[in-house]
Amino acid sequence: MSGTQHTARSTEARNTEARNTEAGSTDPTSATPPATAARTAVRLRTLRLGGLSVRLRPRALLAVGLVLAAALALAVLAIGSGDYPIAPAEVVRTLLGDGAPAQDFIVHELRLPRVATALLVGAGLALSGALFQSLVRNPLGSPDMLGFTQGASTGALVAIVLMGGSTFALSVGAVVGGLLTGLLIYLLAWRGGVHGTRLVLIGIGVMAILTGVNGYLLTRAELVDASRAMLWLTGSLDGRGWDQAGPLALVLAVLLPAVLFGAGRALRLLEMGDEAAYALGVRVQGVRLLLTGAAVVVAAFAAAAAGPVSFVALTAPQLARRLSRAPGPNLTGSMAVGAALTVGADLLGQHLIDGRQLPVGVVTGVLGGGYLVWLMATERKAGRI
C-alpha cells in the first residue's frame, strides 16, 4: 500500500469517527458513548417560558403523571365506597354534574369533602417533608420526626382540654402550636446560622418534651374530651368537610408557587452544601428561614385538618425520588405520592376490617413504620449509619 493511500484512508477514518461522535453513532470506538448521550438527552430538557427556565425530565414527568392518575383513581373509588355504593362511572358522571339527585347529595355533600381533605393533607405533608429533607439533607427529616406535628398536637390538646374548644378552636390551636414549635426549634438551633444536623437533634429533643406534655394534658382531660383528643391525635378524616379542606387548599395555593418559582433554584443549590450555595449567590440563611417557615406552615395546617397523620411526610419524598430517579427536592412528585398514599390509606382503613373503620393515621403508621425499618436496613447495608 502506498503512503498516499494510507494517508487518505487515515484521514477518512478520522473524519468518519468525528461524524459518528457528533451524531451519537453506535460505533463503540466513538469518543462519547451514544448510550450516555441518549440518556442525558432524555433525562433533561429545558423549556423557556418568558424569563423562566424550566427543566423537564421525561421520566419524572411520566412518574408524576402516573401517580396523579393513581391518586385520582383511588379518590373515585373512595367516593364510590360506603353503605350506599356507587360505581366509578357514576361517580365521575356525578362529579361532572350529570348524576341523580341522591347520588349528587352523597357525592358532593358527604364523601367528596373527606376525599378532598385526604388528598390535600397528603400533598401538604409530603411537601413539608420534601422541604425538610432537602434542607437538612437527611432522609429522616420530616415534621413528624422533628417535633413540628407534636407542637400542633400540643396546641390542639390545649384547645380541647384546657379551653373546651370547638372544632374551629381545635384547628386554630393546632396551627398556632405548630408555628410556635417551629419558631422555638429554629431559635434553639440558631448559632450563627442553622445547620441540618443541629436542627434535627434539637427537633428530636423538643419532640420528646412535647410528647410528655401531651401525655400530661390527656390525663387532665374529661373522658369525652380525652376520647375526642385521642381520635384527633391518631390522625382521622372522619367527619372532615370543606371547613378543614379550604384553609389548607388556600395555603398550598399560595405557598407552592412561591416555593417552586421563588426559591426552587436556591433549594436545589442548597443540596450541594451551604458553602457551594453561598458561592453561587444564594443567601443561605435567609432562604433556609423562608423555606423552613413555609414547611412549618404547611405541616401545621395539614395537622389542623386531619390531625398528625404519621409517616406520610417521611415516606412520600423518598418514594417520589425512587420513582422519578431525578435529583433535587422533587416537590411536585412528593405531593402526588403523598396524596395517593393518604387517600389510599383512608380507603384501606374503611374496608380492612369488616364493620369497623380504622383511622387513616393507624394505616399510615403501620405502613410507614415498615418503610422506616426497611430504610434503616438499607442505610446500614450501604454503610451510611
**CATH code, domain with 180:** 1.10.3470.10
Query: Is residue 309 domain-resident?
Result: yes
What's the number of domains the chain is made of?
1
Query: Is residue 47 domain-resident?
Result: no
User: Residue by residue, what is the 3-state secondary structure of the chain?
Assistant: CCHHHHHHHHHHHHHHHHHHHHHCCCCCCCCCCHHHHHHHHHHCEEEEECCEEEEECHHHHHHHHHHHHHHHHHHHHHHHCCCCCCCHHHHHHHHCCCCCHHHHHHHHHHHHHHHHHHHHHHHHHHHHHHHHHHHHCCCCCCHHHHCHHHHHHHHHHHHHHHCCCCHHHHHHHHHHHHHHHHHHHHHHHCCCCCCHHHHHHHHHHHHHHHHHHHHHHHHHCCHHHHHHHHHHHHCCCCCCCHHHHHHHHHHHHHHHHHHHHHCHHHHHHHCCCHHHHHHCCCCHHHHHHHHHHHHHHHHHHHHHHHCCCCCHHHHHHHHHHHHHCCCCCCHHHHHHHHHHHHHHHHHHHHHCECCECCCHHHHHHHHHHHHHHHHHHHHHHCCCC
Query: Is residue 156 domain-resident?
Result: yes
User: What range defines the domain where residue 177 resides?
Assistant: 77-381
Could you list the pLDDT tens digit for every one of the 385 residues in the chain?
444 444 444 444 444 444 444 333 333 333 334 333 334 334 445 444 444 445 667 877 888 899 999 999 999 999 998 888 899 999 999 999 888 888 999 999 989 999 999 999 999 999 999 998 888 887 777 888 888 889 999 999 999 888 877 778 888 999 999 999 989 988 888 876 666 678 888 888 999 999 999 999 998 888 888 888 888 888 989 888 898 899 999 999 999 998 888 777 778 777 777 677 778 777 777 788 888 889 999 999 999 999 889 889 989 998 888 888 877 678 899 999 999 999 999 999 988 887 788 899 999 988 888 877 887 787 778 776 6
Query: Is residue 2 domain-resident?
Result: no
Specify the pTM.
0.81
Query: Is residue 7 domain-resident?
Result: no
Query: Is residue 223 domain-resident?
Result: yes
Query: Is residue 57 domain-resident?
Result: no
